[in-house]
Amino acid sequence: MTKKLFFALALMFLACSVLSAQTPEYPSAGGHWVPISAAFAMAIASSLCGLAQGKAVASAVEGMARNPGAAKAIQLAMLIGLAFIESLALYTLLIVFMKAK
């Protein structure tokens, strides 16, 4: 496990010099990677947002099933939590629109 981790880190450090090369089309270093990295960021944020929302809803439903008297409080906490989870994807989308022109 650690051997693979060190290999991956060494590969990333070696790739840094290649990714920071400047081209006439993109005067900033690594500017051509911005749209690609923005797409990956949105994909990761959306997938993790979906997983987190599924876990939150499953836990809330389980809590409501165990204690029906606290269903209103659990539902309110779940909705607030879902709003915070969804804000992750919305903030990432905002950054993608700001960075990728």
Residue-wise pLDDT for 17-44, tens only, equals 555 555 566 556 666 777 888 888 888 9
So what's the pLDDT on residue 4?
80
No. of helices (H) and no. of strands (E), the chain: 3, 0
So what's the pLDDT on residue 22?
55
| CATH topology for the 2-99 domain | F1FO ATP Synthase (1.20.20)
The segments of the chain whose pLDDT lies below 50 read: none
How far is Cα 60 from Cα 77, in angstroms, rounded to an integer? Answer: 9
Output the pTM of the full model. 0.62
Nearest-Å Rg of the Cα atoms of the chain is: 21
For residue 78, what are the contacts with CB-CB under 8 A and spacing of at least 6?
56, 57, 60
Q: Which residue has the tokens 């022109």?
A: 101
Other Cβ atoms less than 10 A from the Cβ of 40: the count is 11
Domain residue spans of the chain: 2-99
